[in-house]
Each structure stands twice: as structure tokens, then as C-alpha cells.
A and B are shown apart, each in its own frame.
Chain A
Amino acid sequence: MDKRFVYADNAATTKISEDVLNAMMPWLKDGYGNPSSIYAKGREAAAAVGKAREQVAAAIGADAREVFFTSGGSEADNWAIKGTVISLKKKGKNHVVSSKFEHHAALHTLKKESLDLSLCEVNENGVVRTEDIAALIREDTALVTVMYANNEIGTIQPIAEIGAVCRKKGVLFHTDAVQAMGNVPIDVVRQNIDMMALSGHKLHAPKGVGALYIKKGMKLPNLIDGGAQEHGHRAGTENVAGIVGFGKAMEIAAKNIGERAAKVGAMRDKLIAGLLELPRTRLNGDAKLRLPGNVNISFEGIEGESLLLMLDMNGIAASSGSACTSGSLDPSHVLLSIGLPHEVAHGSLRLSINEETTDEDIEYMLKTITAAVLKLRNMSPLWESIVSGDDKKTAKARQNLV
């Protein structure tokens, strides 16, 4: 099989689709008016933003007035968390419930705010249990924030159940749906979601645009003050072309979720089954409660960054939860949260495919990854000690685990 380029990092970002680009083009050229301006060029831009707002709202079962455009998912998470904390502190509520494997946009924001934080455990399959969340909610709980689907291991959380518990207990519920949107059906009303973060570039729209859904009637203080854009809730001249692209991407994605999930999910399962044929290899995260495009595998005895480099040399773009790829001391907090020992977390590989991935790509990845793992294991003293059964090193490492 000839060397080919395979992009398997769609959870990091995606390629802008032709349809999205075509929708955006007029607003990058002659449609340069400021949506706040009174003349025709401005009004046209405002109308385009309004249409995109309706497209996004329709894709999540919301009303257009509940969708506020932001610079992306991180801003939306920051806004939801910081805004809620500010408004509820005044009412004496300073407790927030979240989970151990949230995206850093939520986790770092929560840790920075001076609040009383309860982080729910995640089970070994990478799923937060609704009853565990319920047990953590107190009288002074201001907010529950749990991600819709995890960005590393792709596990889908029981959002509707958590939403129902929060609604019953009168606690606000925010979810980061950046990875989930377009891949699973979302209905903010039926799922009792009060706030939800979205991002364009994970769904074939450009980088630098996203949205926060804020349920009608909620009074969320602004994160960015200034002009009267976004009904006075988020200042800054609108990223018109980006917003139009985002609206188009959401509209396209919402159309055929089931069909795409079936096609991509079948390729994902083939990839997982093929990689698990290698000994001492495990799938991270539940096999079923999983985004259709997510594969996260740990190969014992090797380190993720060297695997990524070797795959890159063979044309495959992927990512890893190894410490070496993050520049920090510890491997991914997500992999540690589901109970992986450090040395197994170091050897993880995330492949995120989508509807553009082909059967040939899957075959190529299986062949190339298998060869790379064998090559790296062949030069690994850790692998040698694992297979020889003389596993003192691993035993020692397990003992030393924090």
C-alpha cells in the first residue's frame, strides 16, 4: 500500500467544507459591512448573522434569541462558568459540581475562581454517573457543569439524566458540547440544558467562532462588555463570515446525524478491532457510549509521542495523551481519571476520523500503526520486561503511582 496522507485528528480541528466556504465567501469579499451600521451593507450583514443564529438554534432545539455567538468553545465555557459564579455568589451560593475529566477550558476556569468545587469521579469506562452527580449537589450549589462528550476518549455522558436532576433540584446546568454537536442529536429543551458551549471548527466551520446557548429567562452577567452586539450580551463587532460559516456547518451537520454516525461508527469499530489484535493493547473509554469518530488506544511498552512522530513520517496525523506531547510532567488527566497507570497513559493514541475518512484510510492506518508499534516495542526495554514476565519495573512503577 502506497504512502498516503490520512488526517485522523478531527477532534483537534477539521477542514472547512466546500459548502461552508461557499457560504462564507460573500462575507469575506463585498459583504464587509458592520452589522451594527444603519445602511444597506450593514443591514445585509446583520441579516446574515440573524440567519446563522436561526440555523444554530434549529440544530440544538433552541430559540434563536437563546444563541449568543462567541470566539469559540473556550470563551463560551468561561462565560457560562464565570457569569454563573458572579451572579450566584451574591445569593450565597458558592459551590460548583463538575467532573474530573472536563476540558481545561472548564477545569482551569473552575479552579481559578475562588469557589467550593466538587469534582465527580469518572468510572473506568469514562462515564460520569448521574447518581454520583446528584449526591454531590448541595443547598449552596450554584452550578453543575459536565461535558457532553469527552474530547480525548469520546465517551458520551448521560446529559439528559443529569439535566433532569439539576432541574428538579433547582440548580443551573451547563454542558460543553464542543465534541458532541453534529455527532449526537441535541435538544436543549428535552435535555434540560440551561447553558451549552459550541465551537465551529470541530464541525467544518472556521476557527475563531462558537456560541453559548443561554436558556430564556436566565440573567447571565456579561464576560465581555462594550458595544450592544449580541443583544448587549457579548460586545465586539461580529465575525460575520465566521458566524455565517458556523451556521451553515450546524445546519448541514444536524441533517444526517444518524446516517453519518452509522457510517463513521462502522469504520471506527473496524479500526478499534484491528488495533486490539496487538497484544497488551486496550481501548480507553466505553466501546458503545462513544462518539462515532473517536478511537483512543493504549499500547503498553511504548510512548505516545514517538508513535505520533513515526506516524507523521508515514503521513498520518493523530494525537496522544502522553506527557511528552503536552510538555508537562503528567500524562493526560482524562486517562488518569479513568484509572490508567502512568506508563499505560503515556502509550496512548487518539485517532479521530469523520465522514471523509475512507476504507482505504482505515486499512492504511491499521497497517502503518501496527508496524510502528512493533518497531517501537522492539527497541523498548519496558516492552522487553513486560513480555519476559520479569516485570519488576512495572511493579515498581505501579507501587510508585500517585
Chain B
Amino acid sequence: MQYSEKVLEHFSNPQNVGEIPDADGVGEVGSPACGDIMKIFIKVDGNIIKDVKFKTFGCGAAIATSSIATEMIKGKPIEEALKLTNKAVVEALEGLPSVKIHCSVLAEQAVKSAISDYYTRMGIDPGPIIGDIPDPHCII
């Protein structure tokens, strides 16, 4: 199994690590038994994701996908952040080993889950906008 330079770069120097105490939306996906949990915090101003932070328990790929996914949505309108796909995350990382693709799925779900929480707090039903976020049962 070989990680790309980009994955190693994001792993060794992850961007946006931390928490936002007064976040407008918080999303958390994964489980300890599966070996990865991602938690994403967003701060929204107008319709723009002004700030984003993450905390991740997981393998090198889980940390790298969290780092790059937060970079990809930072400063973007919510609608655009919702379009972030796991495929785009994999491409931005210059590829992931096949057994690690699930980490990119988790990153996509963590972003959607944080935005879903933001909508709920705003009194908007996220269901019709985001749809179901499948519970990841140790997907590989």
C-alpha cells in the first residue's frame, strides 16, 4: 500500500485542525470500533462557510482526507460545499489506495453532516436539501 505525496503532505501537516467553540454546525460520522471518526465544525456567515475545523480519529488517509476536505469547502457558499464528492477528495489527494477510499466517503459525509446540523439549527429541514446521510457501518 502506497500513499501519494499529497496524502503524506496533508498527514504530516494537516490544515484546519481543531474546534470552533461557537460553531454554527457540527457534524460527526464514523465509529470507534471501525477505527475512524471525523468531526467537522463550520462557522457560517451569510451563505458562506467562513471557517472550518476538524478533529479526526483514524488512519493516515482519514486525517489527510479531513484536512483536504476542509480546505476545499473553506470560503465557499454552502450550496457549493454540498457538491463536494468523495471522488473530488480522492482526486485532490492525487489518489488513495483502494482500501482507503472509504475515508474519502467519510469526509464527504462529515461535511454534509455539519451542513445538515447548520440547517437544523436555522430551523430548516435538511432532509429535502441534503437527503439521507447513510450510517457508515465500517465501509471499506
Residues on A close to B: CB < 8 A?
A: 301-303, 305-306, 309-310, 313, 322-324, 327, 329, 331, 341-343, 346, 378-384, 393-394, 396-397, 400-401
Contact = CB atoms under 8 A, between A and B. Distances in A.
B70 to A, nearest CB: 12
B31 A393 contact: yes
By secondary structure, the A interface counts as: helix
* Central interface residue in A313, A322, A324, by most chain B CB within 10 Å: A324
A317 to B, nearest CB: 15
B55 A303 contact: no
Interface string B118-130: 0000000000000
Nearest to B58: A303
Contacts of A400: 31, 33
A60 to B, nearest CB: 36
A393 B31 CA distance: 7
Contact of B31 (A323, A380, A397): A397
A78 to B, nearest CB: 26
B32 A397 contact: yes
A12 to B, nearest CB: 15
B33 A306 contact: no
A174 to B, nearest CB: 33
Contact of B59 (A306, A378, A397): A306
A396 to B, nearest CB: 7
Interface residues of B, number: 32
B138 A329 contact: yes
A309 B55 contact: no
Contact of A396 (B14, B17, B31, B57): B31
17 contacts: A302-B57, A303-B36, A303-B57, A305-B60, A306-B62, A309-B3, A309-B8, A309-B11, A310-B12, A342-B33, A346-B35, A379-B56, A381-B57, A382-B57, A384-B55, A393-B31, A400-B31
B39 interface: yes
Nearest to A313: B12
By secondary structure, the B interface counts as: mixed
Contacts of A393: 31-32, 37
Contacts of B39: 381
A397 B3 CA distance: 29
Contacts of A384: 55
Contacts of B59: 303, 305-306, 322, 324
A26 to B, nearest CB: 38
Contacts of A343: 32-33, 35
A378 B58 CA distance: 12
Nearest to B32: A343
Contact of A380 (B1, B14, B28, B56): B56
B35 A306 contact: no
